[in-house]
Amino acid sequence: MIRKRHLALGNKGLAEHSIQKLLLQLAHNAGSMGFKRKDVYEGLQHVFPSSLTQDEKLRKIGNLLRKIVKEGFITKTISGKQWIITEKGEQELNC
């Protein structure tokens, strides 16, 4: 039982990393125009379990955005209404 739980946690980390890569690709594709949270939701809602509500998916996306901002992969534009990929984010995407 412990082993299954460990594997599940490992898969969660892998899934989160894959979603992070998708988000970085979206940021890269958006270029200097940047992207909004709505764009992330539209682009990534299919990667989350269908059992989650829209609010739960939005919360997960918000948590992921905060995480990759903290890691320095994306940053807000000057207006503060969009995110853009950073040089560090570009490097992470190309790994």
Beta partners for residue 85, in sequence order? 74
With CA atoms as reference, report the closest residue to 64 among 12, 18, 9, 20: 20
Q: Tell me: pLDDT of 15 over 90.
A: no
Q: How far apart are CA 45 and CA 7, in angstroms?
A: 24
* Radius of gyration for the alpha carbons in the chain, expressed in angstroms and rounded: 14
Q: What is the value of pTM for the model shown? A: 0.79
40-44, 56-60, 85-89, 91-95: which is most confident: 85-89
Is the confidence at residue 20, as pLDDT, over 70? yes
